Amino acid sequence: MSVPVADSTENPPPAIKVLLVDDQRIIVEVVRRLLADEPDIAFHFCTDPNEAVARANEIGPTVILQDMVMPHIDGIEMVRRFRANPQTARTRIIVLSGMDDPESKSGAFAAGANDYLRKLPPREKLLEHIRAQADPQKQQ
């Protein structure tokens, strides 16, 4: 009697692991819904910035989306923590911020962010930026 073997190409694992770090649960839910129908994206989140690096080490994200303003830590310091951590030092980081001023942007990029988006962008724009950052050619 033969046992059918599942074809691994039928349901390949998601190619992009996204970790959202945001203390606002409503933002987490909105982003989760924006990404829900994307078979190539696995969505993870962390609402406590003090646990974000450990959570990232646990899941190994391809792209980190992170808020700029969180309790007890600002987004620039959060980017620095990810960059100082060996397991996330090269992980692509997209900062999401309600602030669209040049000082916030330059601070995020100086700390090591790879991208900066106004919070919350339209679905297609968010997907475009996530996929661009997840592209290995863009990481060189």
Q: In this structure, is residue 132 part of a structural domain? A: yes
Which CATH number belongs to the domain containing residue 98 in this structure?
Answer: 3.40.50.2300
Q: In this structure, is residue 7 part of a structural domain? A: no
Q: In this structure, is residue 4 part of a structural domain? A: no
Domains in the chain, number: 1
Long-range contacts formed by 34-41: CB under 8 A, 24+ apart: 34/120, 34/123, 34/126, 34/127, 35/126, 35/127, 35/130, 38/127, 39/14, 40/14, 40/15, 40/16, 41/14, 41/15, 41/16, 41/17, 41/130
pLDDT tens track for 62-86 = 999 999 988 889 899 999 999 999 9
Q: In this structure, is residue 9 part of a structural domain? A: no
Q: In this structure, is residue 131 part of a structural domain? A: yes
Residues of the chain with pLDDT under 50: 1-8, 140
Name the residue among 26, 93, 45, 100 with its Cα closest to residue 65: 93
pTM: 0.86
Domain that residue 24 falls in: 16-139
